[in-house]
Amino acid sequence: LRTPAWGNRGMRTRLGCLSHKSDSYNDFTAILPDKPNRALKRLSTEETTRWADSFDSLLSHKYGVAAFRAFLKTEFSEENLEFWLACEEFKKTRSTTKLASKAHRIFEEFIDVQAPREVNIDFQTREVTRNNVQEPSLSCFDQAQGKVHSLMEKDSYPRFLRSKIYTDLLTQTQRRLS
């Protein structure tokens, strides 16, 4: 039984489309929060360049987070950043009644085995976090958050700095100066 030539070509085309993830953003308004056109005008080359100085510098800037999120979406790994951000927000919780429900929601969404947006952490960290969530405190996700931060910093962040998303954004901010 032979597969028709057009069938092979069609399958190759479809697989080719899947394997060529575009990380180009000519229209940065799609990735920037708030009022995108005004945000892009306010984003300086200096700020954009500072993102390459350190991963924490990138994470401390809302437009840096937006650009990094857009990049992670092209790699299908935005759950790492979403988990890290959820942990940062969780640490601001002041209500002890909300602490437990927020902790369980984060655990179920990101940490639990087969969670909808499961992050890649080792078994030991998962179990430590599971135990921490039983009696939640503001630091119950610290170990897991640290592992995810380290993973992003060593793995995704260097690729982001080489990505078309970052280089195009940097070029666009530099172009405004000339």
What CATH number is given to the structural domain containing 85?
Answer: 1.10.167.10
Task: Tell me, yes or no, whether 22 lies in a domain.
Answer: no
**Residue 13 has what pLDDT?**
36
Q: What would the pLDDT profile of 30-52 be if each residue is shown by its tens digit?
A: 555 554 455 556 788 899 999 99
**Residue 32 has what pLDDT?**
55
For the ranges 9-13, 24-28, 55-59, 136-140, the lowest mean pLDDT is seen at 9-13
For 10, the token pair is: 């069609």
Domain ranges, residue 79: 30-175
Task: Tell me, yes or no, whether 126 lies in a domain.
Answer: yes
Task: Tell me, yes or no, whether 161 lies in a domain.
Answer: yes
Question: How many domains does the chain divide into?
Answer: 1
- Burial of residue 138, with CB atoms counted within 10 A of its CB: 0-12 exposed, 13-18 middle, 19 or more buried: middle
Question: How confident is residue 8, by pLDDT bands cut at 50, 70 and 90?
Answer: very low
SS3 175: helix
For 81, the token pair is: 């950043």
For 92, the token pair is: 């601001």
For 97, the token pair is: 């009644």
Q: What would the pLDDT profile of 92-148 be if each residue is shown by its tens digit?
A: 999 988 999 999 999 999 999 999 999 999 999 999 999 999 999 999 999 999 999
Task: Tell me if 121 sits within 8 A of 144, measured CB to CB.
Answer: yes
Task: Tell me, yes or no, whether 143 lies in a domain.
Answer: yes
Task: Tell me, yes or no, whether 12 lies in a domain.
Answer: no
Task: Tell me if 69 sits within 8 A of 168, measured CB to CB.
Answer: no
Task: Tell me, yes or no, whether 152 lies in a domain.
Answer: yes
Task: Tell me, yes or no, whether 20 lies in a domain.
Answer: no
Using the predicted structure, report yes or no on whether residue 12 has a pLDDT greater than 90: no
**Residue 38 has what pLDDT?**
55
Task: Tell me, yes or no, whether 160 lies in a domain.
Answer: yes
